[in-house]
Chains A and B, each alone.
Chain A
């Protein structure tokens, strides 16, 4: 006998084992049904059946099923040695024999229960290969026709079932032929439909198995690519920090030397010389700021790769930085307002980075707000997160530039024209820090009226929930 196509040994074996258990359970029901019918028929419906042979066959069926159950339960090695497919094939063939014997004892070809052959064919289609199913159909038909012909020709005795079936139908050649053709076509057609459906299901199953394994493959490829990119990003970041630091060291030495000389601390110096040296210091200061911002930016990006999260109280950060901001605001005659809750407002993150974020936004606001203006920090905690907003009444940003201001080194036209120094990295740092904390930055601005930056961060609680989801 051929084995059904095996896509993957294990799932199929498992399925076959489960199905065999299922047939054994069905067989108990069948044996009980036949036994009950044989007992009830003469007593309740007044049908005359050959009681002793029927009970014998039914007992045979029960014993046979008990043997199968024991083999399956206690001697799985036997079924494995036999091969599960052969085990299933044998069972169906023996079941067909029992059905034929039972039918023979209860009217043979006259008994409408001949349609029960269909059940066996459906079970075979589910369990066996297409070819094995058709062989079982052939066996069923041969048994049916064989017993009909044997009874017709008198080779086997006919058990007439009085009080139930018509007279002498088994001797009517037209009826016997008709019954054989009906049973034959029903069986073959059933086998055809059931095996087709089973085959299609098996194909789908194989496709899904193949798809899921290729998906797993793709996922692991993508993961590898992602790991590679992250490693590259880390290397880039280390390189940038190293370069910036190496740039800073000599610049710091130059700055100090210029400062000492410019301030006349290394001896008398002309006013003109002092002015020039002071201007040189300002330019060196630009380079130093650029190096600092590059380090801050790459550190913020690195944080996105490995966030060492701790619970951080943003209200504390705002209050802590307030004095420093207020001093700068007063120096520039700008009104400085903070509105922030007295109770902790907690997010998960890096306190240093979040302080850096706030400092960048506020120093930007102070830088681009003219004398007499106002800078306002607000910290609000909502249902789904925390919003820090920094609003100013400064020079504002043109609408078409809004999308570009977070780009590295980009400075808005109004900022460039203001004559204030800037590296163009401050907002990139803000954005990188916000994103590394699972947040976003938005901006509203009107040229000449002012700008409001809003940083939304998930609260410590919601961040834990979203991490648990991923």
Chain B
């Protein structure tokens, strides 16, 4: 079990090239990368592998599967893994005019109407920005895992 010290990132993304790019990016930084191409297998993988972080796409082959995945995970996931931090990386704002991430200065949407995720980046994400978010979210949990 050599990967015990490495934080695990689950990439949920239907585009294989994007998965490979993210894998290269995260592995280069020393993370272990798992990948799922749809919401169902992502849910299973999260239950069995208990990743430290999920990087999630919203638009997948059968529509906005990412949304479904987030809510199912938060409600039905095992207690040990349902609160895993999630970073959404999606081009959803291109086709969808609603804002899906918290912006406290915006009075239009109440906080509980947002998707319960920890970060939201518009596609294509800047690698350095994505890594900043990963590091920020892995800090407390990641340190514990390494211990």
Interface residues in chain A, defined as those with a beta carbon under 8 Å from any beta carbon in chain B: 241, 244-245, 248-249, 251-257, 259-261, 263, 265-267, 288, 291-292, 295, 299, 316, 320, 350-352
30 interchain pairs, CB-CB under 8 A? A244-B94, A245-B91, A245-B95, A248-B91, A248-B123, A252-B123, A253-B15, A253-B17, A254-B17, A255-B124, A256-B22, A256-B124, A256-B125, A256-B127, A257-B17, A259-B127, A260-B22, A261-B24, A263-B128, A265-B28, A265-B29, A266-B24, A288-B124, A291-B94, A292-B94, A295-B94, A320-B106, A350-B97, A351-B108, A352-B97
Contact code string B11-35 (vs A, CB < 8 Å = 1, else 0): 0000101101110110011000000
Residue B112 at the A interface, CB < 8 A?
no
Bound: A252/B19 CA distance, A: 12
Q: Which residue of B lies closest to A266 (CB)?
A: B24
With a CB–CB cut-off of 8 A, which chain B residues contact A288? 124
* Residue of A251, A263, A295 touching B127 (CB-CB under 8 A): A263
Bound: A288/B94 CA distance, A: 11
Q: Which residue of A lies closest to B17 (CB)?
A: A253
List B101-116 residues whose CB lies under 8 Å from chain A: 105-108
Shortest Cβ gap from A249 to chain B (Å): 7
Residue B147 at the A interface, CB < 8 A?
no
Residue B126 at the A interface, CB < 8 A?
yes
Bound: A241/B93 CA distance, A: 12
Bound: A263/B28 CA distance, A: 11
With a CB–CB cut-off of 8 A, which chain A residues contact B124? 251-253, 255-256, 259, 288
Bound: A256/B122 CA distance, A: 12
Bound: A261/B17 CA distance, A: 13
With a CB–CB cut-off of 8 A, which chain A residues contact B28? 260, 265-267
With a CB–CB cut-off of 8 A, which chain B residues contact A245? 91, 94-95
Shortest Cβ gap from B16 to chain A (Å): 9
Q: What 3 A-B pairs come out closest when comparing CB atoms?
A: A266-B24, A252-B124, A255-B124
What size tier do the contact residues of chain B reach?
Answer: 20 to 34
Bound: A265/B105 CA distance, A: 35
Q: Is the CB of A265 within 8 A of B25?
A: yes
With a CB–CB cut-off of 8 A, which chain B residues contact A316? 107
Q: Is the CB of B94 within 8 A of A253?
A: no
With a CB–CB cut-off of 8 A, which chain B residues contact A266? 24-25, 28
Q: Is the CB of B20 within 8 A of A241?
A: no
Q: Using a Cβ cutoff of 8 Å, how many contacts connect chains A and B?
A: 66
Bound: A391/B19 CA distance, A: 44
Q: Is the CB of A249 within 8 A of B17?
A: no
With a CB–CB cut-off of 8 A, which chain A residues contact B107? 316
Shortest Cβ gap from B61 to chain A (Å): 12
Bound: A357/B25 CA distance, A: 36
Bound: A291/B108 CA distance, A: 27
With a CB–CB cut-off of 8 A, which chain B residues contact A253? 15, 17-18, 21, 124
Q: Is the CB of B18 within 8 A of A256?
A: yes
* Residue of B17, B105, B123 touching A320 (CB-CB under 8 A): B105
Bound: A25/B17 CA distance, A: 94
Q: Which residue of B lies closest to A319 (CB)?
A: B105
Q: Contacts A248-B94, A288-B124, A320-B105 hold; do A260 and B18 have CB atoms under 8 A apart? A: no
Bound: A351/B97 CA distance, A: 10
Q: Is the CB of B108 within 8 A of A260?
A: no
Q: Is the CB of A252 within 8 A of B127?
A: no
Bound: A454/B141 CA distance, A: 51
With a CB–CB cut-off of 8 A, which chain A residues contact B108? 351
With a CB–CB cut-off of 8 A, which chain B residues contact A251? 124
Bound: A259/B24 CA distance, A: 11
Bound: A252/B24 CA distance, A: 16
Contact code string B71-92 (vs A, CB < 8 Å = 1, else 0): 0000000000000000000010
Q: Is the CB of A256 within 8 A of B21?
A: yes
Q: Is the CB of A265 within 8 A of B127?
A: yes
B18, B21, B126, most chain A CB atoms within 10 A: B21
Q: Is the CB of A299 within 8 A of B105?
A: no
Q: Which residue of B lies closest to A244 (CB)?
A: B94
With a CB–CB cut-off of 8 A, which chain B residues contact A259? 21, 124, 126-127
With a CB–CB cut-off of 8 A, which chain B residues contact A256? 18, 21-22, 124-125, 127
Bound: A256/B24 CA distance, A: 11
With a CB–CB cut-off of 8 A, which chain B residues contact A254? 17
Q: Which residue of A lies closest to B95 (CB)?
A: A245
Shortest Cβ gap from B71 to chain A (Å): 24
Bound: A45/B72 CA distance, A: 110
Apart from A249-B91, A256-B22, A299-B97, list 15 A-B contacts with CB within 8 A: A248-B94, A251-B124, A252-B18, A253-B17, A257-B17, A257-B18, A257-B21, A259-B124, A259-B126, A260-B28, A266-B28, A267-B28, A320-B105, A351-B108, A352-B97
Bound: A249/B20 CA distance, A: 15
Bound: A255/B91 CA distance, A: 13
With a CB–CB cut-off of 8 A, which chain A residues contact B94? 244-245, 248, 291-292, 295
Bound: A249/B90 CA distance, A: 10
Q: Contacts A241-B95, A253-B15, A255-B124 hold; do A260 and B21 have CB atoms under 8 A apart? A: yes
